[in-house]
């Protein structure tokens, strides 16, 4: 299939998906690499394009809770959370229905589902009238893309078309909550544990099982530059003063946690583009999306 580059035409992207292609798809969190969930060849192509392990499960994106219930079995807690936060940056891990194929879940008996809060993404999902898998549109383990240009830079003609929906407003991946016999947060995101607890009426556990959901590996979201994490801007400045002149270092910090989340991946990419060899990241405050920012920083700084 010939690459169409970047387009703002939803119908072009929908035609590519229906014909078995893969599409760079905007969401409010990050850009995804999309394919129809029931097209085995297209889904395998996503794994190959991203260099993603086949046992690493994918999130199915749908246009509504009603559509999601065709793919997953929702208990009372899952239904309440979906009703409260969808469309939005929340992914629910629930028991799968017979509609879900092993190539989406890595053979697991659960499926991850989300309704994105992005008008263009929703138009695309309504147009194809099917579930769409869409892991981040970048090479596996690297910095996630938050603009169409990021996708083009990372994947080029490996993707058939990139649907431009502007910069991502949230900027970090969705919160993932398991709603099975277990109730736990598997990945931190824009929607906090406190928000989840308010709706569920109970506090979720914190999960830590590797590869049970996307983004759970120890090293992830990593730029080429080395990432160091400090507590304060003063600590970052001290680190720079102690570095030899040959080291090109950059400080990463925003007081506002929402701005930190929105700009995190773009700043890491800019550091690489500008030749930085070290990024000194100041931990975000623990309010709102701050814990999710710190989670991404920790994974970006992990040994590779």
pLDDT tens for each residue of the chain, 304 residues long: 545 699 999 999 999 999 999 999 999 999 999 999 999 999 999 999 999 999 899 999 999 999 999 999 999 999 999 999 999 999 999 999 999 999 999 999 999 999 999 999 999 999 999 999 999 999 998 999 999 999 999 999 999 999 999 999 999 999 999 999 999 999 999 999 999 999 999 999 986 554 556 655 555 788 999 999 999 999 999 999 999 999 999 999 999 999 999 999 999 999 999 999 999 999 999 999 999 999 999 999 988 6
pLDDT at 286: 94
DSSP string over 93-139: EEEB-TTS-HHHHTT-SEEEEE----HHHHHHHHHHTS-EE--BSSS
Tell me: do 172 and 32 sit in the same domain. Answer: yes
User: Considering the domain boundaries, does residue 212 fall inside one?
Assistant: no
Give domain status of residue 220, yes or no: no
Please indicate, yes or no, if residue 248 is contained in any of the structural domains: yes
Domain match, 39 and 174 both: yes
Does 16 share its domain with 157? yes
Within this chain, do residues 99 and 129 fall inside the same structural domain, yes or no?
yes
Please indicate, yes or no, whether residues 121 and 245 belong to a single structural domain of this protein.
no
| 125 shares its domain with 271 | no
Whole-number Å distance between alpha carbons of 145 and 132:
18
Among residues 143, 173, 206, the one where a domain terminates is 206
Q: Is residue 57 part of a domain?
A: yes
CATH number at residue 141: 3.90.870.10
Asked if 7 contacts 97 with a C-beta cutoff of 8 angstroms, the reply is: no
- 156 and 23 in one domain? yes
Is position 214 within any domain? no
By the 8 A CB rule, do 257 and 287 touch? yes
Please answer whether residues 125 and 63 qualify as being in contact, where contact means their C-beta atoms are separated by less than 8 angstroms. Answer: yes
Residue 232 domain flag? yes
**DSSP strand pairing (278-282 vs 226-230):** parallel
Q: Which domain holds residue 236?
A: 226-301
Can you tell me the distance from the alpha carbon of 90 to that of 82, in angstroms, rounded to the nearest whole number?
A: 8
- On whether both 273 and 155 belong to a single domain, the answer is no
Whether residue 146 sits in one domain with residue 273: no
For residues 92 and 180, is the Cβ–Cβ distance under 8 A? no
Kindly state whether residues 51 and 157 are assigned to the same domain: yes
Domain termination residue (choose one: 155, 171, 206): 206
* Domain co-membership, 197 together with 244: no
In a domain, 174, yes or no: yes
Count of domains in the chain? 2
Does 284 reside within a domain?
yes
| 279 and 241 co-located in one domain | yes
CA distance 304 to 141: 9
């Amino acid at each position: 299939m010939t690459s169409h580059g970047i387009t703002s035409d939803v119908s072009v992207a929908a035609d590519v998906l229906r014909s078995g292609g893969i599409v760079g798809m905007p969401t409010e969190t990050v850009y995804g690499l999309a394919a129809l969930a029931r097209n085995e060849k297209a889904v395998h192509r996503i794994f190959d394009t991203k260099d993603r392990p086949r046992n690493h499960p994918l999130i199915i994106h749908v246009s509504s809770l009603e559509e999601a219930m065709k793919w997953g079995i929702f208990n009372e807690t899952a239904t309440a959370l979906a009703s409260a936060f969808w469309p939005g940056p929340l992914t629910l891990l629930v028991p799968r229905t017979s509609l879900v194929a092993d190539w989406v879940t890595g053979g697991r008996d659960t499926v991850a589902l989300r309704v994105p809060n992005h008008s263009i993404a929703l138009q695309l999902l309504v147009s194809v009238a099917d579930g769409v898998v869409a892991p981040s549109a970048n090479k596996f383990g690297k910095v996630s893309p938050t603009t169409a240009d990021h996708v083009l830079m990372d994947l080029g003609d490996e993707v058939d078309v990139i649907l431009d929906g502007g910069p991502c407003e949230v900027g970090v991946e969705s919160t993932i909550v398991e709603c099975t016999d277990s109730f736990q947060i598997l990945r931190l995101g824009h929607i906090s544990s406190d928000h989840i607890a308010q709706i569920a009426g109970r506090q979720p556990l914190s999960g830590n099982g590797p590869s049970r959901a996307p983004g759970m590996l120890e090293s992830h979201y990593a730029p080429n530059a080395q990432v160091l994490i400090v507590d304060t801007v003063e600590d970052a400045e001290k680190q720079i003063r102690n570095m030899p002149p040959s080291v090109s270092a950059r400080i990463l910090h925003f007081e506002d946690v929402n701005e930190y989340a929105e700009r995190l991946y773009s700043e890491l990419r800019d550091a690489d583009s500008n030749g930085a060899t070290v990024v000194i990241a100041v931990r975000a405050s623990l309010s709102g999306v701050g814990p999710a920012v710190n989670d991404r920083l920790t994974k970006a700084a992990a040994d590779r």
